[in-house]
Homo-oligomer: A and B are copies of this chain.
Amino acid sequence: MTEKIATIEDVARQAGVSIATVSRALHKPNVVSETTRERVQTAIAATGYTANVMARNLRLNRSGMILLLVPDIGNPFFSAILSGIEKGASQAGYNVLIGDTQNDPEREATYAAYLRSNQADAMILLNGRLPAPLAKAPANATPPVVIACERIPGCALPTVIIDNDEASFVATNHLIDLGHTRIAHVSGPTGNILTTDRVTGYRRALKSAGITHEPGLIYRGDFSIDSGIAAGRALLADPKTRPTAVCCASDGMAIGVIVAAKEVGLRIPHDLSVVGFDDIPHAAAYDPPITTVRQPRRRLGEQAIALLLDRLGSKTPPSHGETGPVIIPTELIVRQSTGPCPG
């Protein structure tokens, strides 16, 4: 009753050939005669045969699966990156298995084990941390792993990132060019490499303009809108010490700061300039449209998968004369959330 699924053997029987011939007809068509090839084709159609990928992969010792480690799949920031990766992978005949790590080292380790257990052929890390099992023996044989989004200091694996330091430098400079000198920075969480790099760029810009750095003007957020609101309330509370411009490490936090600014009656950009980071779709539609650093997320994903496929294609374990990370250029998009210093 329960319709048995057709195997290669059924096809062979139907076509009156051996299973080897069926396999060849499918994967090396030029080595099998025209007539049998046709017979096999009709037999396949008749039986509705679909190759059992599991068996095939076992034999070939591959999985056709690329594992993608994401800290939080619920974060829309990754959507476009995923999209770029998925596109490239599926073109090359790979599937993308997304692993949501929730920033849990244990989950990271679990997923990393997929590499060993042949459940995945390669891995892309968006989580900015090397899973424990990988960290152990990176020296002898480089695993097929690519790092994207957040560089991992001291890790020689192929990496594709944006230059966060430089991008933050440019953003801060934009405010300096507008005449601002009291410029605050709302950063990401401590320990995050993105945070470090962007703070560095911010301070570098101040320094190169001869502005003395005030530690009180740096607020640590977590990239979320809510943390931006908190930052805004903290920074703008006292009219005396209030900055005239804020440079944020995410668009969400920039929006939060603007919300807080409006609460205390400040007009943007007349009384306060705000710069974001990422250029998410909502940045352009906000009131006012937000000046921000555009991060080409899709291209970032595309580059990452390209790097990986490269690595998978050539058997040569990557030219260990490291070429350094691939840097995707960013672009400052000037909109209406920034203007001349009110002073």
- Residues 86-119 of A at the B interface (beta carbon under 8 Å): 86-87, 90, 95-98, 100, 113-114, 116-119
Answer yes or no: A241 CB below 8 A from chain B CBs: no
How large, as a class, is the contact surface on chain A? Answer: 35 or more
Q: Tell me which of B55, B96, B258 contacts A98 (CB under 8 A).
A: B96
Query: Given A73-B83, A79-B74, A79-B75, does the pair A255, B285 have CB atoms closer than 8 Å?
Result: yes
| Inter-chain contact B75/A2, CB cutoff 8 Å | no
Identical chains bound together, number? 2
Residues of B within 8 A of A73 (CB): 79, 82-83, 86
Residues of B within 8 A of A141 (CB): 2-3
Identify the closest chain B residue to A297 (Cβ).
B74
| Inter-chain contact B97/A97, CB cutoff 8 Å | yes
| Inter-chain contact A54/B58, CB cutoff 8 Å | yes
Answer yes or no: A135 CB below 8 A from chain B CBs: no
Stretch at the interface among A21-29, A45-53, A198-206: A45-53
| Inter-chain contact B74/A80, CB cutoff 8 Å | yes
**What secondary structure prevails in chain A residues at the interface with B?**
helix
Q: Tell me which of B79, B90, B281, B287 contacts A225 (CB under 8 A).
A: B281
Identify the closest chain B residue to A54 (Cβ).
B58
| Inter-chain contact A55/B58, CB cutoff 8 Å | yes
Interface string of A208-228 (1 = CB under 8 A from B): 000000000000000001000
A39 to chain B, nearest CB (A): 22
Query: Given A51-B117, A53-B118, A57-B54, does the pair A82, B74 have CB atoms closer than 8 Å?
Result: yes
Q: A50-B116, A54-B54 are in contact. List 12 more A-B contacts (CB 8 A).
A: A3-B140, A51-B117, A54-B57, A55-B58, A73-B83, A73-B86, A74-B82, A74-B83, A74-B298, A255-B282, A262-B287, A287-B287
A interface, CB within 8 angstroms of B = 2-3, 5, 50-55, 57-58, 63, 72-76, 79-80, 82-83, 86-87, 90, 95-98, 100, 113-114, 116-119, 140-141, 225, 229, 252, 255-256, 258-259, 262, 281-282, 284-287, 298
